Structure 1
């Protein structure tokens, strides 16, 4: 067997789709067919389909970015099948999933709009990363002036962005008398449904204010909290899935065995019975969202930058480092967990203990570099709001100031050992000189209003930030962590 396909499924020793893929009917169009989506939302759909349910909610992928071409071509060559390998500390289980039935290539915007206009599509889902929503960090709102959005406003019949395409699809449905689809964001953004609603409605408003009003009044944008650690796929994973499981898959996905999806039940056009696959439907997802974003995503940042500066490669290796783990545990206990409101039916200490266990899982192979990625988009969402929350309450932020100083030090582009840090942020070219200048002028870093807003000017944060940053440069990461841990 040289390739995974419909024809070779019967030759596999591992389980595959227990349903007739030829009988599936599309009901979801998904933007951003990456590893997380395939390990999370698509995995839930596959569970349902194996129960004989949701046969009319198969997935059509849609690519927008040039980088989507490779994923689309790879999956198309495999009949859109792929292997999911779920890993706990003591075992790995592989199965082949088949809920994706098509994938529209980037650039084929006419076909994307036609598919969005099809009344069979009842859900449009997104995993386009935190940086894909054109959020102005200084205001916290959609950036209507962004060049890509302005271009779509000038040419709404031939849009290039996800939001321009969604607007065009909704416009076509309304003109044909079809009800609107539900837009379901599954990215790690606070109030992600609300954020997506603003992006879609404001994109429409630039060219058709009346359509924007119709969207705001008639289209559902449920908020969601999603969670599953899913590393990038490399030749290592492709080799493992072939050698360990006998599956010749060019696009396998490796992930942890933990999975969670908390979702507001707002789907006027209908939805799959996801609760039968383990999805938790709630009236307001906010408590779960804050818990995950602050404890897990914020915790990832706490692990990432000291480990990056110490040349630690894997996340589980960082968790095995006594200083890094103690830093995570102290900052979570002292500053992060106290800033999380109560979550119904959830013990926050137990939740964090599970987070630590997940990060320490040696099977995942998650990299420190992945956790360090894109800090300019992640810090304003995962760290700075917790800082602002504590400052507003008159509480200290020593640990969070050190986390931010570690991020700044990392962006200076060299580890404690002198090894070069390759660019690891979409804004690396501007972050690098700022981080280097901050060695002698911390305000050069804290002055980034798009990251810190007013928080960067608050002396209760700026003073410990400057103090920790100076220590990082003068004494190194180990000595600085030791000083923090000793109080």
Structure 2
């Protein structure tokens, strides 16, 4: 198939494929988005696509901070790509047009900073994953020894990190008398707006005290909660969708019908009317963030590590095992829910039921190995915050501890059959070395990994209830395997 998805082929696409309902020639950029991965293209870019009919001043200039692959895929397609919404009822296709340009930062750094410094840019948003913020997940503070931060402090006009890039653009705007853009994180960080403000302010302060005060006092960093499951696109996905379109799409995006976006309404230079596309603007995102991080993401990570170890390729495969479904239901109902404090009227039971349905969606093919990536950055937010709340009230953490232990078993780098695990994590070498040096005994492995302060802080390794629960779970995983451990856990009384 030689025809490539582009403006020219939109009129020839099948009638069942939804296409942009606005003239893209009229759209101008108002948002710069850092980290154009699949999630952004299935979530924020879709909400933005929905509102461009009424306000074409909010197009997106997206940036990849590392890899040119997305640019290389979308540039020949005029920035267009297909969104595939999949469920057991079938597949719906939609072409998204809100991404006007993709820049690869290392190749065109000055162009990117110039666009970020333009008065038309009123929002800079991010999906760079937890590790992209160069912060300490255990404390939420800037990791001042991070190699990219060290580089950027020495070369502030040639930044490599997301914080360095944002602060350099803010510095230039300040010098030119241009009001600062709002910085909107759409990543799974605790209180992501406050975390980003803390990281940016500290980095700016290390460059210049006055600049640090300016960022702290004048740059809005609204918190958000985002929710949509977005599996990695496979070659089979590309072939199927290109066949359905009658045109080649080099990088379509797969997702589920469910989508949620809760946003703190703090945008001094204006914002898109995302509420018209289904977003919810609130004064305090934190209760919704805890709900999502602890119920969805905590359950997802637990399923990923245990499911992978049990030999299950996808979340749906894992949830098809009744013992795993019982484990996750118990985790959500008995260990997570009591730690949540939601606004009146929030239907938490329906949300949890929807999660189970989403996890069991066989059409998504969300691989356990994909969710297992970057666990050292994810664990503090997804599981350990809940653990701390439970321990503070002397409440049991057996299922939570099993999730932590499964991560420990996973990062040793060998599965239950002795085959190597491709552990993709910024701390992968250190984790593997720590486990190897600890020796073969689960108790020693647990003690070694618990000593990594960037993950567990200073408090959890000193908490006997936590260390005993994790050590016991890890010992059982080594002796009996993940599948038997899960079944034993769900049949035991708590």
What TM-score does the superposition give when structure 1 sets the normalisation length? 0.96
When the two chains are superposed, the root-mean-square deviation of aligned CA atoms in Å is 1.4
1:480 pairs, out of 460, 478, 485, with: 485
Give the 3 Å change call, closer, same or farther, for CA 147–412 of structure 1 in structure 2: closer
Runs of at least 5 residues in structure 2 that lack an aligned partner in the other structure: none
Measured after TM superposition, the shift of residue 275 of structure 1 is 0.9
Question: Take 1:299 and 1:151, find their aligned partners in 2: how far apart are those partners?
Answer: 37
Separation in 2 of the partners of 1:344 and 1:232?
A: 36
Q: Which structure 2 residues correspond to residues 63-462 of structure 1 after superposition, within 5 A?
A: 63-65=64-66, 67=67, 69-107=68-106, 108-436=108-436, 437=438, 439-441=442-444, 442-453=446-457, 454-462=459-467
Determine if contact 1:153/1:206 at 8 Å carries over to the other structure: yes
Structure 1 residue ranges (4+ consecutive) displaced by more than 4 angstroms after TM superposition:
none
**Which whole-Å CA distance do the structure 2 matches of 1:274 and 1:464 have between them?**
44
User: Does 2:28 match 1:25?
Assistant: yes
CA pair 365-245 structure 1, distance change in 2 beyond 3 A: farther
Alpha-carbon deviations, 1:144-187, whole Å to 9, x = none? 23221122112222222221121111111122221111111110
Instruction: Tell me if the contact between 1:409 and 1:435 (Cα under 8 Å) persists in the aligned partners.
Output: no
Moved more, 133-142 or 445-454: 133-142
Identify the range of structure 1 (267-276 vs 162-171) with the bigger mean alpha-carbon deviation: 162-171
CA contact (8 A) 1:447 1:457 kept: no
Residue 94 of structure 1 and its aligned partner are, at CA, apart by 0.2
Q: Give 1:440 shift.
A: 4.5
> Is 431-440 or 278-287 further displaced after alignment?
431-440
Between 1:76-85 and 1:411-420, the stretch displaced more is 411-420
- Provide the rounded CA distance (Å) in 1 between the counterparts of 2:244 and 2:341: 44
Alpha-carbon distance in structure 1 between the residues aligned to 2:233 and 2:352: 27
- Which segment is superposed worse, 477-486 or 115-124? 477-486
CA contact (8 A) 1:85 1:95 kept: yes
1:54 match: 55
Contact 1:226 1:262 in 2 (8 A): yes
How far did 1:379 drift?
0.6
Residue 138 of structure 1: CA displacement?
A: 4.3
Structure 1 residues not aligned, in runs of 5+: none
TM-score (normalised: structure 2) = 0.95
**What secondary structure sits across from 2:255 in the alignment?**
strand
